[in-house]
Structure 1
Amino acid sequence: MSRVAAAIDAAHAQGRGAFVGYLPLGYPDLQTSIDAAVALAEAGADILELGPPYSDPVMDGAVIQEATHAALEGGFRLRDTFTAIREITARTDVPVLVMTYWNPVMQYGVDRYADDLLAAGGAGLITPDIAPDAAADWIAASERTGLDRVFLAAPTSTDERLALIARSSTGFVYTVSTMGITGERAELDAAARTLVARLRERGVTHACVGIGISTPDQVSGVLDYADGAIVGTALVRALRDGGVAGLTAEARALAAGTAR
Structure 2
Amino acid sequence: MNKISAQFKGKKPLVTYISGGDPSLEMTEKLIYRLQAEGADIIELGIPFSDPLADGPVIQEASQRALRGGTTLKKLIAKIDQIQNQVEVPLILMGYYNSVLNYGEEEFAYDIAEAGISGVIIPDLPADEKAELSRYLARSGVSQIMLVTPNTSEQRLKKITAKSSGFLYCVAHLGTTGDDQQGVYPELENYLERVRNSAGELPLGLGFGIDGPEKVKKIIDYPDGIIIGSALIKQIQAGDKEKEMLDNAGEFVRSIKKAIN
Per the TM superposition, whether the score is higher than 0.5 is: yes
Looking at structure 2, the residues matched to 241 and 203 of structure 1 have their Cα atoms a distance apart, in angstroms, of 38
TM-superposed CA distance for 1:207, in Å, is 0.5
Residue identity matched to 2:31: A
Instruction: Report what 2:87 is aligned to.
Output: 92
Given candidates 133, 138, 156, the residue that maps to 2:133 is 138
Task: Spell out, residue by residue over 1:178-219, the C-alpha distance to the aligned partner (whole angstroms, 9 max, x if none).
Answer: 011110515322243322111111133300010001111222
Letter in 2 for 1:254: I
Structure 1 CA distance for aligned equivalents of residues 106 and 164 of structure 2: 18
Which whole-Å deviations, capped at 9, do the CAs of 1:102-153 have from their partners, x for residues lacking one? 1110111111001000000000101111111003012111221111010100
Residue 224 of structure 1: how far off its partner (Å): 0.3
| Length-normalised TM-score, structure 2 | 0.93
* Among candidates 198, 223, 228, match of residue 226 of structure 1: 223
The structure 1 residue matched to 2:185, chosen from 162, 169, 189, is 189
Matched position secondary structure for 1:98: strand
Q: Give the aligned partner of residue 18 of structure 1.
A: 13
The offset of 1:88, in angstroms, is 4.1
Deviates more, 1:20-29 or 1:203-212: 203-212
* Unaligned stretches of 5+ residues in structure 2: 240-244
Pairs within 5 Å for 1:171-250: 171-186=166-181, 187-205=183-201, 206-242=203-239, 243-250=245-252
1:5-28, Cα deviation, whole Å (9 max, x unpaired) = 00111xxx2xx4110000001111
2:155 aligned partner, one-letter code: E
Rounded Cα–Cα distance in structure 1 between residues aligned with 2:65 and 2:98: 20
Match of 1:6 in 2: 6
> CA–CA distance in 2 between the matches of 1:86 and 1:223?
33
Shift of 1:63: 1.2
User: Runs of 4+ in structure 1 displaced over 6 angstroms?
Assistant: none
Give the TM-score normalised by the residue count of structure 1: 0.94
The 8 Å contact of residues 222 and 229 in structure 1, kept in 2 or not, is answered as no
| Secondary structure of the structure 1 residue equivalent to 2:166 | coil
Aligned match of 2:242: none
| 2:188–2:222 contact (8 Å) kept in structure 1 | no
Q: Cα gap change, 1:38/1:184 in structure 2, threshold over 3 Å: closer, same or farther? A: farther
Find the aligned partners of 1:140 and 1:94 in 2 and give their Cα distance: 24
Structure 2 contact 150–185 (Cα < 8 Å) conserved: no
Q: Distance in 2 between matches of 1:229 and 1:201?
A: 19
Please give the alpha-carbon distance, in whole angstroms, between the structure 2 residues aligned to 1:179 and 1:19: 21
The answer as to whether partners of 1:25 and 1:34 remain within 8 angstroms in 2 is no
Partner of 2:254: 252
Find the aligned partners of 1:253 and 1:90 in 2 and give their Cα distance: 27
Question: Structure 1, unaligned stretches of length 5 or more?
Answer: none
Conservation of the 8 A alpha-carbon contact between 2:25 and 2:76 = no
Q: 2: CA distance between counterparts of 1:88 and 1:96?
A: 11
Equivalent residue in structure 2 for 1:160, among 155, 158, 170 = 155
